[in-house]
């Protein structure tokens, strides 16, 4: 009887140790995941983006380091305002209207209200440049 109790105790103690090791492993694992998530950097959106390689047909977006954005087509200013980046999203605000833009690497995706489609803007310059437009 005493041997059976000792064996039962060993099994319970072994199971308890195994559960404790697994729980500790999970905590350490979650800590590594959280640290890796914290290390992910969001893309720097400062620069100039274009919807096309053609100067005449393109729509441009420019973002400055002072949290300002500009949108235009050749010779035609469309919008000027401020922006705030929150991870992989940019919220732009102009004339009390706000909308979100998705950031994916060197590309931005914005909903075009005229065509009712998502429009892709590719980064063409790391700094804001103003091509054939004047906002003053």
**pLDDT interval class at 1 (50, 70, 90):** low
Structure tokens at 91: 């919220």
C-alpha–C-alpha distance, residues 80 and 89, integer Å:
18
The 10s digit of each residue's pLDDT in 64-109 is 999 999 999 989 999 999 999 999 999 999 998 999 999 999 999 9
Residues 35, 11: Cα–Cα separation, whole Å: 36
Q: For 2-33, how does the pLDDT look when each residue is reduced to its tens digit (9 = 90+)? A: 555 545 445 555 555 646 555 555 544 554 44
The reported pTM is 0.67
Q: In angstroms, what is the C-alpha Rg of the chain? A: 27
Tokens representing 27 are 């905590």
């Amino acid at each position: 009887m005493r041997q059976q109790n000792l064996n039962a105790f060993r099994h319970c103690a072994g199971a308890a140790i195994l559960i404790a090791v697994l729980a500790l492993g999970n905590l350490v694992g979650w800590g590594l995941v959280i640290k890796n998530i914290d290390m992910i950097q969001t893309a720097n959106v400062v620069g100039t983006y274009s919807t096309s390689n053609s100067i005449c047909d393109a729509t441009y977006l420019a973002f400055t380091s002072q949290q300002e954005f500009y949108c235009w087509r050749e010779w035609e200013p469309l919008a000027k305002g401020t922006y705030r980046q929150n991870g992989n999203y940019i919220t732009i605000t102009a004339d009390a209207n706000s909308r979100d833009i998705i950031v994916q690497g060197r590309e931005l995706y914005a909903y075009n209200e005229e065509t009712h489609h998502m429009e892709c803007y590719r980064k063409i310059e790391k700094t804001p440049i103003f091509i054939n437009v004047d906002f003053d």
